[in-house]
């Protein structure tokens, strides 16, 4: 469904991605993880076409992405970013339906779809005419997810979708989001820096460092057979606070 | 009365002549700034006739021809298709004037006496400052040592002299103020100033189109002596009579002059005048501002899309903004003549920069995540602009339009310099006649109009600004 082949991207002298290969199968949930600046967000932005690779190709549903084909393929992808990226001058309804209205979809179809999606992400119908400034952070992310799902995309791309939320809301949304993914059965590529979140969502974790993929597999595989000391160090660094917490609580 | 003022009076007289024959279909444009402007207007056929001085023609306008006599001048003029009457009867030459009391105290009687007082402050009319027969020539001729020499409006110079901030100014020998302010015209002991005989210049083709009009110009020759001119000047300047009334009175009381004075705005009621000026002013502002909005917003959008275009467009609009308004008007006169069109074009050009810059800045200031979300949704560039970018930049764009509108209303008062009318008309006349009431008749409505225009755009902003933007500027802050 999605294949990156020898993809490189640099910003000036800084190699953001170095010859990355990655394949994502239909229905798979892949989580890109790694320290800040490892290139995981860049990878996602290359897939949605916000960036163009310096070399290598991105193939989506058997078609190599080009500047010309991007406009169409983007409509088969949903993209959610950390702080939602909602249009502040449009209501919830306006934000979610903006693309459908541009494509002149039937008004009745749009209303039905809006109601279905609001049910799916558990957004109260009373909020449909609110502006983003009138919503909480968690509600904004629900709206952003509705917008991404509006045209029923084949691929869902999420860049730290829960990164800006406080831990309680974040935990709750993690549970709900996972349920939604399971229900929709969509192909998902998600970026996070939190290994617990990655393990919660991902059948497959892709650990990155300095623009390259270090290791790919389940958390268990990564922990038991680290490809290099960095993998072990990265997992330990994130698990250590948990074990300290457990020790205190006895 | 300044030389320009005399021109106005005589122009009224000339208009009286012209209006006598409706077939001549003359319009008169009273407030034309600067000799060159009027001369060029005559050459291009914008106007058919105006009064001029032989000295100005010989020393300034045709200085490069090296003419010395009036006969040579006449020939040089006719080769340009311009006719000239004989002297109207007075020589209104330049003079240097001081307060009599100060001149006595310093013992200054003639211009050469000024050499002994290098610290005196001079204030000269802007034309006198630059003309070959003005200050530069005078300074060389008399080897004058003064360095504190300021250029200013001739009518303001009298007040500077009276207030003591200036010690000497340029005068015209028929000025009414000489007696009024108790001034001394210093003796031109080394014979620098040339003769300034008043004549009427007219286009030779006017003699074919309206022979009686040209005949009437020639009838004026020798009719106005220096004493008569001084008296007429004093009636306008000191007694506050209107120029047209004085000119009409003069024409009526001159036996043998079969000239009917033209109608003039002086005959209108104040509210009719105000209405006419408001209409003129609004037309200048409305046309130039609408054109600027239609032109500047697309340019601002283009600049926001293409960084290279942005450099060129913003720099060009910035340079336009630095051109002084009077210079801009003078640049435009050869292309567009005088009156409304060059004023509208100048105002249009001045209105561009704030709108372009605010459109550009408004689009550039949209947070990157919002733009990227629109791109990632698959909205094509034009839809993105219409649905997302312009609504988010609207506040900035409207602020730019508001700035342009207020500047435009103020700058439009200068349109009167080139005969475009509007609120600048009474302001200019008021400055010339030292009449604060007249100045306020233009300045107060102009200020009110500026406030009104600002209020109008604020109302438009309230209507156009999306409610989501009014709620909270930073809708991106994700807090629960």
B171 DSSP β-pair partners: B95
Tell me what percent of the residues of chain B surpass a pLDDT of 70.
Answer: 85
Domain tally, chain A: 2
Domains of chain B: residue spans and CATH? 3-91+195-267 (3.40.190.10), 94-185 (3.40.190.120), 270-479 (1.10.3720.10)
Residue-wise pLDDT for B42-57, tens only, equals 887 777 888 888 888 8
Residue A111 confidence (pLDDT) above 90: yes
Chain B, nearest residue to A79 by Cα: B376
A7 touches chain B (CB under 8 A): no
Residue B9 confidence (pLDDT) above 60: no
Question: Residue B257: how many CA atoms within 13 Å on its side-chain side?
Answer: 24
Closest Cα to residue A144, out of A105, A171, A166, A173? A173
Same domain for A128 and A178: no
Same domain for A117 and A181: no
Q: Give the mean pLDDT of B19-48.
A: 57
Whether residue A67 is contained in a domain is answered as: no
pLDDT score, position A243:
82
With contact defined as beta carbons under 8 Å apart, do B150 and B122 qualify? yes
Instruction: Check B373 against A72: CB less than 8 A apart.
Output: no
Q: Give the mean pLDDT of B234-252.
A: 73
Q: Choose the weakest-confidence range: A208-217, B63-72, B137-146, B449-458.
A: B63-72
Residue-wise pLDDT for B183-203, tens only, equals 888 888 888 887 888 888 888
The whole-model pTM stands at 0.69
Distance from the Cα of A166 to chain B's closest Cα (Å) equals: 8
Q: Which residue stretches of B238-269 are H helix?
A: 243-252
Q: B55-94 burial by CB neighbour count: b if 16+ within 10 A, else e?
A: bbbbbbbbeeeebeebeebbebbeeeebbbbebbbbbbbb
With contact defined as beta carbons under 8 Å apart, do A51 and A9 qualify? yes
pLDDT score, position B472:
55
Residues in A closer than 8 angstroms to B373, CB to CB, are: 79, 81, 85-87
Whether residue A73 is contained in a domain is answered as: no
CA dist A161 and A169 (Å) reads 12
Q: Which of A124, A152, A180 is the last residue of a domain?
A: A152
Residue-wise pLDDT for A148-174, tens only, equals 999 999 999 999 888 878 888 888 888
CA dist B293 and B295 (Å) reads 5
Same domain for A192 and A249: yes
Q: Give me the numbers of helices (H) and strands (E) for chain B, helices first please.
A: 23, 8
Whether residue A13 is contained in a domain is answered as: no
CA dist B201 and B82 (Å) reads 7
Residues in B closer than 8 angstroms to A86, CB to CB, are: 370, 373, 475
CA dist A248 and B131 (Å) reads 95
A90 touches chain B (CB under 8 A): yes
Residue B124 confidence (pLDDT) above 80: yes
Residue-wise pLDDT for B427-475, tens only, equals 877 776 667 887 888 888 889 988 998 899 889 888 888 787 877 544 4
Average per-residue pLDDT in chain B?
79
Length in residues, chain A: 250
Residue B20 confidence (pLDDT) above 60: no
Q: Give the mean pLDDT of B131-141.
A: 83
Q: Choose the weakest-confidence range: A105-109, B79-83, B167-171, B219-223.
A: B219-223
Residue B32 — very low, low, confident or very high, per pLDDT cuts 50/70/90?
A: very low
Most confidently modeled range among A98-102, B274-278, B414-418: A98-102
Instruction: Provide DSSP, B346-362.
Output: HHHHHHHHHHHHHHHHH
pLDDT score, position B93:
80
Whether residue A58 is contained in a domain is answered as: no
Q: Choose the mutation target among B365, B368, B373 for the interface with A, i.e. most A CBs under 10 Å.
A: B373
Give the distance, in angstroms, between the CA of residue B271 and the centroid of all CA atoms in the same chain: 24
Residues in A closer than 8 angstroms to B387, CB to CB, are: 98, 102
Whether residue A69 is contained in a domain is answered as: no
Q: Which residue stretches of A18-106 are H helix?
A: 40-48, 67-74, 92-102
Phi, psi of B150, rounded to the nearest 5 degrees: -115, 140
Q: Choose the weakest-confidence range: B65-74, B257-266, B382-391.
A: B257-266
Chain A, nearest residue to B465 by Cα: A89
A87 touches chain B (CB under 8 A): yes
Residue B4 confidence (pLDDT) above 70: no
Average per-residue pLDDT in chain A?
89
Of A71, A132, A164, the CB nearest to B468: A132
CA dist A27 and A66 (Å) reads 24
Eight-class DSSP state of B197? B
Angle, to 10 degrees, between the axis of helix B270-305 and the axis of helix B436-464?
40
CA dist B92 and B359 (Å) reads 54
Task: Identify the helix (H) or strand (E) that includes residue B394.
Answer: helix B390-411
Q: Choose the weakest-confidence range: B4-8, B91-95, B105-109, B361-365.
A: B4-8
Q: Supply the range of the domain harboring residue A128.
A: 78-152
Q: Which of A129, A152, A175 is the last residue of a domain?
A: A152
A20 DSSP β-pair partners: A7
Residue B354 — very low, low, confident or very high, per pLDDT cuts 50/70/90?
A: very high
Residue-wise pLDDT for A195-217, tens only, equals 888 888 888 999 999 889 999 99
Residue B338 — very low, low, confident or very high, per pLDDT cuts 50/70/90?
A: low
Of A75, A90, A140, the CB nearest to B378: A75
Residues 206-245 on A with a CB inside 8 Å of B are none
Same domain for A43 and A87: no
Eight-class DSSP state of B86? P
Same domain for A46 and A94: no
Q: Give the mean pLDDT of A93-118.
A: 94
Same domain for A161 and A121: no
Q: What is the CATH number of the domain that holds A189?
A: 3.40.50.300
pLDDT higher for A141 or B157?
A: A141
pLDDT score, position B337:
66
Of B379, B475, B480, the CB nearest to A99: B379
pLDDT higher for A85 or A12?
A: A85
């Amino acid at each position: 469904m999605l294949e990156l082949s020898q993809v490189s991207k640099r910003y000036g002298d800084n190699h953001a991605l170095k010859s990355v290969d990655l394949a994502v199968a239909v229905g798979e949930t892949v989580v890109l993880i790694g320290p800040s600046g490892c290139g995981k967000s860049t990878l996602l932005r290359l897939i949605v076409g916000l960036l163009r690779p310096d070399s290598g190709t991105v193939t989506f549903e058997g078609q190599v992405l080009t500047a010309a084909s991007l406009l169409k393929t983007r409509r088969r992808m949903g993209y959610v970013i950390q702080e939602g990226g909602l249009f502040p001058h449009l209501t919830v309804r306006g934000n979610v339906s903006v693309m459908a209205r541009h494509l002149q979809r039937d008004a009745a179809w749009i209303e039905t779809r809006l109601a279905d999606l609001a049910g799916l992400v558990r957004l109260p119908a009373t909020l449909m005419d609110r502006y983003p400034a009138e919503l909480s952070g968690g509600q904004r992310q629900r709206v952003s997810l509705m917008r991404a799902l509006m045209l029923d995309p084949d691929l869902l791309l999420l860049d730290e979708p829960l990164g800006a939320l406080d831990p309680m809301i974040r935990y709750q949304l993690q549970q709900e989001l996972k349920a939604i993914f399971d229900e929709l059965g969509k192909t998902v590529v998600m970026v996070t820096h939190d290994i617990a979140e990655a393990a919660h969502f991902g059948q497959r974790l892709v650990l990155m460092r300095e623009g390259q993929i270090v290791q790919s597999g389940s958390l268990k595989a990564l922990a038991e057979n680290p490809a290099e000391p960095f993998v072990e160090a990265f997992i330990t660094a994130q698990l250590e606070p948990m074990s300290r917490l457990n020790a205190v609580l006895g | 009365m300044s030389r320009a003022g005399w021109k106005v009076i005589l122009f009224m007289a000339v208009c009286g002549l012209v209006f006598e024959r409706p077939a001549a279909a003359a319009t008169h444009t009273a407030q034309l700034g600067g000799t060159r402007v009027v001369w060029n207007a005559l050459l291009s056929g914008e106007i058919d006739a105006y009064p001029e001085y032989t000295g100005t023609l010989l020393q300034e306008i045709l200085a490069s021809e090296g003419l010395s006599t009036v006969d040579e001048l006449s020939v040089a003029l006719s080769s340009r298709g311009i006719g000239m009457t004989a002297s109207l009867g007075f020589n209104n030459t330049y003079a240097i004037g001081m307060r009599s009391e100060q001149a006595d105290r310093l013992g200054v009687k003639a211009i050469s006496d000024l050499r002994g007082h290098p610290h005196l402050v001079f204030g000269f009319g802007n034309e006198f400052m630059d003309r070959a027969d003005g200050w530069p020539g005078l300074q060389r001729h008399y080897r004058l040592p003064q360095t504190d020499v300021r250029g200013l409006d001739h009518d303001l110079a009298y007040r500077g002299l009276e207030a003591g901030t200036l010690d000497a100014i340029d005068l015209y020998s028929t000025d009414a103020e000489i007696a009024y302010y108790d001034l001394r015209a210093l003796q031109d002991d080394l014979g620098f100033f040339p003769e300034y005989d008043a004549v009427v210049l007219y286009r030779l083709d006017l003699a074919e189109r309206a022979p009686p009009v040209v005949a009437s110009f020639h009838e004026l020759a020798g009719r106005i002596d220096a004493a008569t001119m001084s008296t007429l000047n004093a009636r306008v300047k000191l007694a506050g009579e209107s120029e047209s009334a004085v000119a009409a009175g003069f024409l009526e009381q001159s036996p043998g002059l079969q000239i009917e004075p033209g109608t003039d705005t002086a005959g209108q009621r104040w509210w009719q005048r105000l209405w006419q000026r408001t209409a003129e002013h609004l037309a200048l502002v409305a046309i130039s501002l609408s054109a600027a909005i239609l032109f500047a917003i697309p340019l601002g959008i283009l600049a926001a899309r293409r960084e290279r275009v942005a450099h060129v467009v913003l720099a060009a609009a910035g340079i336009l903004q630095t051109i002084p308004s009077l210079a801009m008007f003078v640049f435009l006169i050869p292309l567009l003549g005088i009156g409304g069109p060059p004023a509208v074009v100048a105002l249009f050009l001045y209105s561009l920069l704030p709108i372009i810059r605010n459109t550009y800045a408004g689009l550039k200031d949209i947070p990157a995540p919002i733009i990227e979300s629109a791109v990632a949704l698959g909205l094509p560039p034009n839809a993105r602009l219409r649905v997302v970018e312009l609504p988010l930049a609207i506040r900035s764009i409207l602020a730019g339009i508001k700035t342009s509108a207020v500047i435009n209303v103020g700058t439009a008062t200068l349109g009167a310099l080139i005969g475009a009318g509007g609120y600048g008309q009474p302001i200019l006349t008021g400055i010339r006649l030292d009449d604060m009431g007249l100045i306020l008749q233009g300045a107060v409505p102009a200020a009110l109009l500026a406030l009104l225009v600002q209020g109008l755009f604020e109302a438009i902003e309230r209507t156009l600004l999306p409610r989501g933007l009014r709620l909270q500027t930073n809708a991106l802050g994700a807090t629960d």
